[in-house]
Amino acid sequence: MTFISIQGALDKGKGSVALRGWIYRERGSNEFKFIVLRDSSNIIQCVFKKEKFSAKDWDELDKLTVESSMTVEGTLREDKRAPTGYELQAEKFTVIQRAEPFPITKDQSPEFLLDVRHLAIRSRRLAAVMKIRHTVMKAFRDYFTSQKFLEMAPPIFTPNACEGGSTLFEAKYYKEKMYLTQSWQLYAEAAIFALERIFCISPCFRAEKSKTSRHLSEFWMAEMEAAWIGLPELLTFAEECVSHIAQTVLQENAEELKILERDVEKLKKIKTPFYRKTYAEVLKILEEKEGLKIPFGKDLRTIEEDLIMKYFDKPLMVTNYPKEIMAFYKRRDPKKLDTALCFDMLAPEGYGEIIGGSERDTDIEELKKSLRKEGEKIDNYQWYLDLRKYGSVQHGGFGLGIERVVSWICGLDNIKDAIPFPRTMLRFRP
C-alpha cells in the first residue's frame, strides 16, 4: 500500500490508508491501545484492539514510547472525540525504531528546551512556527516577483561594514581579514545598475551585545533594492509587502495559528494603508500622551517603540529620523536637512521595528564625510563610491527581519522561537 500523509488521510475521510510517523502521545489498557501518530502535516489517533493482534505484536506495541517511529495501516472512521475528528482503526503496524525515554516532559524551563532544541523542534508549537516562517518567506518572494523584481544572491564574506563596525563578526579568510555580512545592501546597490529591481532572502550576522527578546546574532533578512525610486515608493512597497505576508499566512496557516492560539482578528486588520508619522510627530505624541520628553536626535529605544504603538492597531511607518544618527548611506532630506529620507516600520502589539529602509545618498563627498565621521577608512569603500561615478540615479531599498515578522505574526514571547536554531551572545549550541 502507498503511504499518504496524515493530513491526506484526514482529507480523504474514509477508507483504507497507510500512514507513517512518530508517536506523539500514547495510552492504553488491557484490551485497547491508543496512539496519537504525528507527521509533518498533522496528528491522528490510531486505535489498536488486542483481539486483532498476536501476543508477540501486542507485547511489542505495549513497549512503544513517545517519539518511536512506526507505520500503521487501517481503516478511517469519523469520531468527533478524537483530536482531529477522525480515528484510524489499526489493522497492521511496523515498528521502525523504538525510542529511548524522551527527555522532554511537561513544564520544563525555556533554557532546557533551548539546550535540547534538536529535539524540542519536534513539538507541534515549534513546527507550527516554522511552517508560518516558510509562508512568510514565500510570500515575500512571491510579492516582489509579482512586482518584476529579480532574486539575487549576495556574498556572506565582506571586506567592510554596512551597519557600523562595532557589530562585525571577524572571520579569517585565507591570509586576509574578512567579516560576516551585516546586510546585502552595498552589493545590491551595485547590482541595480544591471538589473534595476532586485531582492534577496539571506542570513545576516551582527555582534550586538544585546540580551533582549528581540535580538539574534544570526538572523535572516528579506531585502529589496531598486533604481529610480524614492521614499514614497519605498513606503508603498513596504506596506503592500507586509499586508500580503499577513493575509497569506491567514489564508495558508489557519491550523498553525490555531495551534499557537493566535488572535487572528488582529492579523485581519493588517491591510493597507498603514499609519504614517514623522520622527518629530512621534516625539510629540509621546510627550503629549505619555509625558515623555525625548530630545531631537535621540534614537527610539524599545521602550519608546512600545509606548507609541499603544495608539496603533496596525503597523506604523516612522519617517525622517535625524540624519546624524543614521547609517552613512542614507540620503539627507533636501527639505529637512537635519533628517534623512528613511523609515522604520513598527509592528503593533509591542513587537517593535520589523523593517528599516531609506533612499541612498548619491553624493560622493557627503558619503565620504559620513564615513569619516563613523571612523571608517575611505579606501575600503572605494568600490562603493565608484557606483556614484558611472550613471548614478535615485535609488533605495529596505530590509525586513524575518524572525521579527514571524515573532509578531505568531505572537511569540521571544524571537529565539522564530528560528530553528537560535544564535545569541550566550547561545551557540546545539
Query: pLDDT tens, 272-295?
Result: 999 999 999 999 999 999 999 999
Question: How big is the CA angle at 129 (ends 250 and 210), to the nearest 5 degrees?
Answer: 120
Confidence of residue 163 (pLDDT cuts 50, 70, 90): confident
- Per-residue confidence (pLDDT) for residue 211, from 0 to 100: 76
Q: Within 13 Å and on the Cβ side, how many CA atoms surround 305?
A: 20
Q: Could you tell me which of 289, 288, 356, 286 has the C-alpha nearest to residue 318? A: 356
User: What DSSP designation does 282 have?
Assistant: H
Residue 270 sits at the vertex; the CA angle it makes with 264 and 275, to the nearest 5 degrees, is 140
Residue 296 has which C-alpha cell? 531631537
Between CA 211 and CA 208 the distance in angstroms is 9
Share of the chain above pLDDT 70, in %: 100
pLDDT digits (tens, 9 = 90+) for 379-411: 989 999 999 999 999 999 999 999 999 999 999
Residue 299 DSSP one-character state? P
Residue burial 234-255, b: 16+ Cβ < 10 Å; e: rest: bbebbbbbbbbbbebbbebbee
CB atoms within 10 A of CB 186: 22
First CA to last CA across the chain, in angstroms?
Answer: 38
Is the predicted pLDDT of residue 164 greater than 80, yes or no? no
Question: CB of 43 within 8 A of CB of 118?
Answer: no
What's CA 392's distance to the chain center, in Å? Answer: 33
Angle at 207 between CA 330 and CA 226, to 5 degrees: 30
Residue-wise pLDDT tens digits, 344-376 = 999 999 999 999 999 999 999 999 999 999 888
Instruction: Give the model's pLDDT for residue 209.
Output: 83
Work out the number of other CB atoms within 10 angstroms of the CB of residue 231.
21
- For residue 165, pLDDT over 80 is answered with no
pTM of the model: 0.94
- pLDDT tier for residue 167 given thresholds of 50, 70 and 90: confident
**HSE-up of 256 (CA within 13 Å, CB side)?**
24
Per-residue pLDDT, 210: 79
- Which parts of 80-184 fold into alpha helices (H)? 110-115, 117-120, 124-146
How far apart are alpha carbons 230 and 125 in whole angstroms? Answer: 41
Residue 161: band (very low, low, confident or very high) from pLDDT cuts 50, 70, 90? confident
Residues 351-375, buried b or exposed e (16+ Cβ, 10 A)?
Answer: bbbbbbbbbbbbeeebbeebbeeee
Q: Is the pLDDT score of 208 beyond 90?
A: no
pLDDT value at residue 77: 94
Grid cell, residue 420, equals: 530553528
- Domains of the chain, start order: 6-97 (2.40.50.140), 114-418 (3.30.930.10)
